[in-house]
Structure 1
Amino acid sequence: MPIYSKRKYYKSKIAHLKFQTMQLTSEDIFDILYRNKKVSISDSELKHLKASNDFLKEYIKGKIVYGVNTGFGPMAQYVIDDEQQKQLQLNLIRSHAAGSGDVIDSIFIKATLLARLNTLSQAYSAVSVETIQLLVNFINHDILPVIYQHGGVGASGDLVQLSHVALSLIGEGEVIYKGKIVPTEEAMQSCNLKPLRITVREGLALINGTSTMNGIGYVNLFLSKNLVNWMVRLSSLMYEVFSVYDDFFSEELNNTKKHHGQRHIAKSLRDQLKGSKLIKKRTTESYKFIDESNVLENKMQAYYSIRCTPQILGPIHDSIQYTEDVLHNEINSVNDNPVIHMETENVLHGGNFHGDYVSYEMDKLKLGIIKLSILSERQLNYLFNDRINGKLPPFINQGVLGLNLGLQGTQFPATSTVSENMTLGSSNYINNISTNNDNQDVVSMGTNAALIANRVIMNTYEVIAIQYLAVMNAINYLDIENQMSEKNQVLFNEAKNVMPFLDGTDKPHYKTLRNIKEYLLKFSN
């Protein structure tokens, strides 16, 4: 499928071609990353790319252009002879392929390739047509350059991470192919591909941008949206278990607050609970007293982890929406330097490679997901603590109290994982360390921000897996399935295929929690 959707046309001053600048959407990216849709480049795009590459070849005759006939960064004052310019690009790629730590996930690598392809395809980097076609083939054949976690500071782009991409494109280094790490040359030969030949500035253009942090950011976005959806569902199941009042998620109450996210979450809860016979209506409730002391039998208002769900998840929803806007703008931007502006016959030097936009959003996204994990853990505690819920045995224990332990052991990983999330909550965006002989004196740490945000996100899936296990067992213990909303009955029926229910005997839970996590990670509408 074409990797673009929205189109905008302009006339090239140099090539006199009608060229289309197109926009990747979140749906496009999701389809390519998770549904294995193929990418393609149109003939008109390839013609414009060739024109841009030809323009730069002419432009540099008798002119000095950074990174083409000069050194890089703090060595930019050194002019490079014509016959050494291609070697300069190869030297840049090889010298900066210096990543360390673990290899990042394959989905991050594919997203990185897609993000780099998208910015280079806009013809402001003057790379060769061969570069673009090879990137397309790497994506479509799932040839994924080995990229390491550590190395990028996200200021002059993801230099180190993207150097490993460039290294593979020139036929060197290693790639992940058919699930194994193999020499790049082996994978390319299997797919009848030839290594990239440098023409003018492919080395600098390939590594000088925000594509790794942007690609990981999109994966984080999709996972975070799914997390919020699951937290809404789990909260609604909690409401059914404890037969809560309907007013705190009502339209009337939540529309008195002007925040879109709060209203959206409240509406989602109402939709999930439609038809429930367990939710109590505040307007028709008859209050009962324990005795003559005028003490109510039931709590007037639920704990905040129950009652304030729209107010807690609302800002997280809104933040995710804004993060999506920023990532969309970034992946459809030119994040290279210099920018080859063929329309005005100019080469523009600046800092479009700087990753502050993505870094800032990854920090904000991370904070939102940490708060979501806190909410999940507090709702879990409410399920487990019989002294506050007044409805379930301790830890939903269906055996002999004192002899059996129910789900008691599962609260510890939830608590410790949320604690780790809170420790990871410090900012990368403001964690500035000058580097590169102080040439890069203000940096974004964008890829670090994206990777740590992902760790928090995956931690949170583990937390909500424990809540899922607990709330489904609570429903089974109370035998309330037939009184629940239709949507929640569907969720409960699915749970029967995902996990075993407690039967009073104590068993290990680690495999069950792993299965639940894998189930929750499957994207749903």
Structure 2
Amino acid sequence: MMLLDGNNLTLEKCQKVIYQNEKVGLTEAAWQRVEASRKTVDQAVSDDTVVYGVTTGFGKFSDVTIENDLVADLQMNLIRSHACAVGTPFPEPVTRAMMLLRANALAKGFSGVRRELLQLLLDLLNHRIHPVIPQQGSLGASGDLAPLAHLASVLIGEGEAFVAGRRMAGKDALAQAGLKPVRLAAKEGLALINGTQAMTAVGLIAYLEARNLADRADEIAAMTLECLRGVTDAFHPDVHAVRPYPEQAEVARRILDQVDGSQLVTRQGDIRVQDAYSLRCIPQVHGASRQALRYVREKLLIEMNAATDNPLIFAERGDIVSGGNFHGQPIALAMDFLKIAMAELANVSERRIERLVNPQLNDLPGFLSPKPGLQSGMMIPQYVAASIVSENKVLAHPASVDSIPSSANQEDHVSMGTTAARHALKVVQNVRKVLAIEAMCAAQALEMRGVDKAGRGTRQLYRDIRQRVAPLTRDRSLSKDIERLSEWL
């Protein structure tokens, strides 16, 4: 069982919980912090202290005092009123990530929840009870209120959940696992929904796939370079040492490793002096995207281990402080950066696809067709790639530059971080399809050049592709082939 302490959650640990269903608990020190922060909340309620969201209303209603005997009703009403997100539910990995991240944030001991509430959240994760959380509706400031309210709804025996692929009422999902809903106490509703866990969860899933695709993009680009008799001088370590971006040098090294032993790549002057940018500048373009990924990783790791609700409980000194850690601007900017960086991997991939299929740009059969003219070969896959790349350009428009005031202008600047994260995930999924098309075209071209002449790395990549997609010997629908390669990637 993985024990959370609120401070040391890593990407690798997240993967184990999200994809391998590893069980989760809390360290004893974390439980002690949780209980200490709860005592501070109880004392504030007992003393009739004015505390935002505990003895007051929310947002613009923060100046409305709530009577002591109604503070529990206030929290239940908060979840019910805020659970109004719309759209297709988040996929299971995102929901699991959201639950894990929220539990880790509560484990820090700055949120004031009771032990029984946090334990129930852990139980949901461990029993694979996944709340139905619609994707649209968060402004990304005041936290991911609407999505997290849907998560919280199941904890109180309301809302809906997926269990083993079946959609059912939240209360039935709990009962099926032998669990009982909780009635929220002071501060707990706010502690559950005032945070950035929706945008961070989506961003985490997007990053994990993006990180993998960055490697695949290098490998596929190396095969294309080989098929087009590319000049390897541009990848020499000395070239990249004088512009010392480590990611750029890493990509160049990876490309040379892939084509090591190849009889197809050329040296400067053998056939041409230099290649087009989509080949010659692979290290510079792919490397820059890797730089962005490094930035995104850094921000995700901070946010995954942060307290992002409001107010925060500082039990050691008995203070309850209102702040703005729920504002998603750091993740919003990171997600906009991620989608721009990944869109560029698809942009340059599509240009390489064009160089593979265009008979005016190479000496291969037109559109890699078995019978050019009679058969169209790989003509239309390039169209598909161009369409997807164009869609990515629309999605890559930054969401973080937009803000619409809410709550009667009390919340007058918001991050739109969840929109940025959702679009980033879509861009990443689109990149996968474009890279699949390049891989399919490159494998076809390599057969025409001679697979036995390929480098050690590209030859293995060719075998991997051919295990999933047959050679194009005559025209056929390639839609399922593209999807199959995309899923593999």
TM-score tier by shorter-chain length is over 0.9
> How many Å apart are 1:172 and its aligned residue?
0.3
Runs of 4+ residues deviating >6 angstroms: none
- Answering whether residue 421 of structure 2 is matched by residue 450 of structure 1, we say yes
Tell me what 1:496 maps to.
466
SS in 2 for 1:502: coil
On the 8 A contact 1:3/1:24 being kept in 2, the answer is no
CA distance in 1 between partners of 2:279 and 2:402 (Å): 36
Tell me what 2:32 maps to.
47
- Answering whether residue 295 of structure 2 is matched by residue 317 of structure 1, we say no
Tell me what 2:276 maps to.
303
Q: Deviations over 1:33-62 (max 9, x none)?
A: 122222121233223312221222013323
On the 8 A contact 1:3/1:28 being kept in 2, the answer is no
> How many Å apart are 1:278 and its aligned residue?
2.8
CA distance in 2 between partners of 1:90 and 1:199 (Å): 8
CA distance in 1 between partners of 2:273 and 2:105 (Å): 56
- Matched residue pairs, number? 488
Tell me what 1:382 maps to.
355
SS in 1 for 2:467: helix
Aligned letter for 2:207?
A: L
Tell me what 1:333 maps to.
306
CA distance in 2 between partners of 1:512 and 1:46 (Å): 51
1:357-396 correspondence to structure 2 within 5 Å: 357-390=330-363, 392-396=364-368
Tell me what 2:12 maps to.
27
1:1-20 correspondence to structure 2 within 5 Å: 1-4=1-4
> How many Å apart are 1:21 and its aligned residue?
5.3
Match 1:398 to one of 370, 382, 386 = 370
Tell me what 2:199 maps to.
213
On the 8 A contact 2:247/2:288 being kept in 1, the answer is yes
Tell me what 2:407 maps to.
436
Aligned letter for 2:485?
A: I
> How many Å apart are 1:461 and its aligned residue?
1.1
Percentage of pairs with the same residue: 33
> How many Å apart are 1:270 and its aligned residue?
2.2
Tell me what 1:354 maps to.
327
SS in 1 for 2:25: coil
CA distance in 1 between partners of 2:12 and 2:35 (Å): 29
CA distance in 2 between partners of 1:137 and 1:472 (Å): 47
Q: Deviations over 1:190-212 (max 9, x none)?
A: 11111123122110000000000
5+ residue gaps, structure 1, are 5-19, 288-297, 521-525
SS in 2 for 1:23: coil
> How many Å apart are 1:180 and its aligned residue?
2.0
Tell me what 1:84 maps to.
70
Tell me what 2:444 maps to.
473
Q: Deviations over 1:471-516 (max 9, x none)?
A: 111112222x22222222221112221001111x211111111111
CA distance in 2 between partners of 1:384 and 1:278 (Å): 18
CA distance in 2 between partners of 1:120 and 1:465 (Å): 41
> How many Å apart are 1:3 and its aligned residue?
4.6
Aligned letter for 1:131?
A: L
Q: Deviations over 1:224-248 (max 9, x none)?
A: 1111111100111112212322211
Moved more, 269-278 or 455-464: 269-278
- Answering whether residue 435 of structure 2 is matched by residue 464 of structure 1, we say yes
> How many Å apart are 1:300 and its aligned residue?
1.4
- Answering whether residue 479 of structure 2 is matched by residue 510 of structure 1, we say yes
> How many Å apart are 1:451 and its aligned residue?
0.3
CA distance in 2 between partners of 1:431 and 1:21 (Å): 31
On the 8 A contact 1:432/1:445 being kept in 2, the answer is yes
On the 8 A contact 2:41/2:187 being kept in 1, the answer is no
CA distance in 1 between partners of 2:3 and 2:136 (Å): 29
5+ residue gaps, structure 2, are none
Q: Deviations over 1:332-357 (max 9, x none)?
A: 01001000001221111110100000
> How many Å apart are 1:402 and its aligned residue?
1.7
CA distance in 1 between partners of 2:382 and 2:253 (Å): 30
Moved more, 445-454 or 253-262: 253-262
Q: Deviations over 1:294-348 (max 9, x none)?
A: xxxx321111000001111111101100110001001101001000001221111
TM-score, length basis structure 1: 0.91
Tell me what 2:49 maps to.
63
SS in 2 for 1:340: strand
Cα-Cα RMSD? 1.4
Aligned letter for 2:478?
A: H
Match 1:482 to one of 446, 452, 459 = 452
> How many Å apart are 1:188 and its aligned residue?
1.0
CA distance in 2 between partners of 1:357 and 1:22 (Å): 18
On the 8 A contact 2:227/2:445 being kept in 1, the answer is yes
- Answering whether residue 175 of structure 2 is matched by residue 189 of structure 1, we say yes
> How many Å apart are 1:263 and its aligned residue?
1.3
CA distance in 2 between partners of 1:420 and 1:126 (Å): 44
CA distance in 2 between partners of 1:373 and 1:218 (Å): 20
On the 8 A contact 1:245/1:281 being kept in 2, the answer is yes
Tell me what 1:258 maps to.
244
